[in-house]
Structure 1
Amino acid sequence: MSRTLPNRRSANRALSALALLALTVGAVTACSDHDSTSEHSASSSAGSSASPGTGRAGETRLHMIDNDGHRLAFHVTQGHGSTIVLDAGGGEDSSYWKGLVPKLHAATGATVITYDRPGLGRSDVVPGPWKVESAVSDLKSGLQQLGVTKNVTLVSHSQAGETATYFAKDNPKMLSGAVLVDASLPPLYTDEEIARLAALSRPQVDAAKKDPDKPQNRQLISTAESYVPMHQAYHRATWPDAVPATVIVSEKTPFDGSPEDVQRWRDAATSFAQDGPRRTLVTAKGSSHDIPKDRPDLVLKEIESMVAAQH
């Protein structure tokens, strides 16, 4: 199912060639544009035993979660009933969603959770190559320690689509649905496309190694270390039929200016949507890859619809 939306120019967050490496860094200015502490409440709950139910409705609280030897920052806006988890794309921390969180909470009344992956925002740096298994473990452990074990709507942008796919496969009973926002999806990663994207991104990876302590560079380097085998495996990954999914695909995609890659990205979204039951394809006409910034109204609408469908 495709929906036609008004044509709008992209916001000034054009993706660079860095996007070619599985959307690892998102927008070029991802980390410099956001202050992950500015939009969150200064109040915090120490330790991993805190439950999101300890905060007042509408109040955002910081919970530091321990998992596998490192600490992760989870930001919880307390609501009731279901839980909406927002997972930003590569190179972005939880502040990416700062404009959407209060609107989602007001529209749905649900608890809204954002979090910082390792090395971003307030979360600890974890050295070594990026592993999707570790990303899934971080998300699951954080939710469990917060007392969230069911009725979760997972909203994943860009590279976070990879975490979402494995999370859904391993934990289908935790999820009531997912909204995949111009997400990295398995059908894209043929051997030909993996080789193409890795080669095109090599100059950016080499440049990132000159400033490895910069957060988005650090994540780019860690993803590059495991890129080929990780995406060969990802190409074979499947989404569970039990979890409904809305797939929002942008018109311009991360590869605006490369018609061949644009078509492959859009074909991957179409293939994914058609490959199982309870999946809906929505096209964000005129939008860049940065749909949550270009079309926040659309993202809000689709999340609301997914949450409402589970009641």
Structure 2
Amino acid sequence: MSRTISRRSLRSPLSALALLALTAGAVTACTVPEAASEPGAPQSASPETGQPAGATRHMIDNGGHRVAFYVTQGTGPTIVLDSGGGEDASYWSDLVPELHEATGATVITYDRAGLGQSDVVPGPWQVESAVSDLESGLEQLGVTDDVTLVSHSQAGQIATYFAQDNPELISGAVLVDANLPPFFTDEQIERLVAFSQPQLDAAEEDPDDPQNRQLLSTAESFVATSTDFHQATWPDAVPATVVVSEKTPFDGSPEDVQRWKDAAASFVQAGPHRTLVDADGSSHDVAKDRPELVLEEIEDMVAAQR
């Protein structure tokens, strides 16, 4: 995290959820990675991991570290669920069986580096590495087309760059209260940096703690990553449904709630084949508060591409 940005007082308070959602996510969800199988070897998902019954675990090697992918096998299209910052694949465990039953599709979840069963990667969080992990995982799993990508919160950054690099692979995306480029103006980045400093100072007292490690690694690159992300564009060829919660990550800060919603509206208006859906009554965790809505939007996106 840059130390040169001033810690000026914010005009309205930002909740802890806002900080965690946009930098390292709900860091309380972090777990110490368990011993993994040989790269590429499928295993039955352990109940202890919180993964859906019937899913198999594949340890994918990419650049010297291993990433855990969980596959519920189906036919036809593939649905890839990408959780928000600090959350592992178990975030989606309740939705996977329903999605699989409703669509018959193959459903894939995965633990990003440093979370769940995946290896820790030292150093600052890099969105390029996260995109590479997802690309490598799908390639090694034999997924070559017809992917519906579902991304929550911080995963919106990964989705944007993944879609730019692989527009032919994605048939559509459902962005669930996801980070979107228009939100990350210089002013908004400064607000988030100023608010985050006390949490970062506390985390630095115990940097080996897995939760603190995840927060610090993401915060270290937050300014540069967010500044670059503000310039990113979503490919016009990839349809996208943007689901926006009522409370957003900024519940309690009306100004920032409005900025989040305005960014979503701006994103949708900036290109074709984009739809805005309001998740009334929902917090930032739309998949937990309004699972029926998320399921409906994913099913509609899959059906529209058939």
Choose which of 82, 89, 92 in structure 1 pairs with 2:84.
89
- Gap change, CA 1:206 and 1:18, over 3 Å in 2: farther
The aligned residue for residue 40 of structure 2 is 48
Identity of aligned residues (%): 73
Q: Which residue matches 2:16?
A: 17
Q: What's 2:95 paired with? A: 100
In structure 2, the gaps of 5 or more residues are 1-13, 43-52
Residues 20-42 of structure 1: CA deviation (Å, up to 9, x unaligned): 2652343464347xx999xxxxx
1:213 aligned to which of 208, 216, 222? 208
Question: Which string of whole-angstrom CA distances, capped at 9 and with x for unpartnered residues, describes residues 123-148 of structure 1?
Answer: 00000011110000000000000000
Q: Number of paired residues?
A: 284
1:140 aligns with 2:115: no
**Given the alignment, which residue of 71, 74, 78 partners 1:79?**
74
Match of 2:152 in 1: 157
1:22 to 1:228, Cα distance in 2 relative to 1, 3 A: farther
Change (3 A) 1:28 1:135: closer
Q: 1:276 aligns with which of 251, 271, 278?
A: 271
Runs (4+) off by over 4 Å = none
Cα drift, residue 215 of structure 1:
3.0
Q: Name the amino acid aligned to 1:20.
A: L
Report the equivalent of 1:223. 218
Return the letter of the residue paired with 2:269: Q
What residue is the counterpart of 2:300 in the other structure?
A: 305
Task: Structure 1 unaligned segments of length 5 or more: list them.
Answer: 1-14, 38-43, 51-57
**Residues 57-77 of structure 1: CA deviation (Å, up to 9, x unaligned):** x83100000001100100000
Secondary structure of the 1:276 match is coil
Out of 241, 247, 270, the residue aligned to residue 246 of structure 1 is 241
Change (3 A) 1:98 1:214: farther
Across the aligned residues of Structure 1 and Structure 2, the Cα RMSD in angstroms comes to 2.2
TM-score, with length taken from structure 1 = 0.86
Residues 129, 18 of structure 1: alpha-carbon distance in 2 compared, 3 angstrom cutoff: farther
- Answer with 58-67 or 275-284: which moved more: 58-67
Quote the Cα distance in structure 1 between the aligned partners of 2:158 and 2:26: 19
Q: Deviations over 1:191-228 (max 9, x none)?
A: 11111111111111111222323333222111111111
